[in-house]
Amino acid sequence: MKVSRQLKIIEIIENNFIETQEELAQALKDSGFAVTQATISRDIKELKLIKVSNHDGIQHYAPLKDIGTIYNERVTAVFKESVLTIDYVENTVVLRTLPAMAQAAALAIDSMDWCEIVGTIAGDDTIFVLVRNRDMVGEVVGKFKKLMK
């Protein structure tokens, strides 16, 4: 019973914007499951459901697997808001950021896990990005510029 109920919960939240435990309980009842608020609460914890905001800012339940999308959006926002200029020499890209933002932007770059990038070194407002070889620098600079838009 528990497994089928939890599978149904996943199905419900993947197909509907469920904002509250009460809405989830009602959707389960409509699907033939008799549940209490305590059961819903335990299921949410066991399934590791999280609350995320949709494009209108309304929060709803989502599976933890969607956290990757949220994380990527935030990483891109950090990069976009902090990087001011991009330049390069040989196989090193140099990014200038707002003061005290280089480490956050470098973390964002590292988390993107691009195969062209060997690693980053960040100071206060400057990041050095080591690119695997010179032939890849143009591609990396292009990707950075795209992220800045």
Residues 6 or more apart whose Cβ sits within 8 Å of residue 71: 111
pLDDT in tens, 79-124: 888 999 999 999 999 999 999 999 889 988 988 889 999 999 999 9
Write down all domains in the chain, each with its CATH number in brackets.
2-62 (1.10.10.10), 75-148 (3.30.1360.40)
User: Nearest Cα to 24, choosing from 1, 32, 37?
Assistant: 37
Contact by Cβ (8 Å): 46, 31: no
Burial of 65 (0-12, 13-18, 19+ CB in 10 A): exposed
pTM above 0.95, yes or no: no
46-to-11, 26, 51, 80, 100 alpha-carbon distances in Å: 15, 19, 14, 35, 39
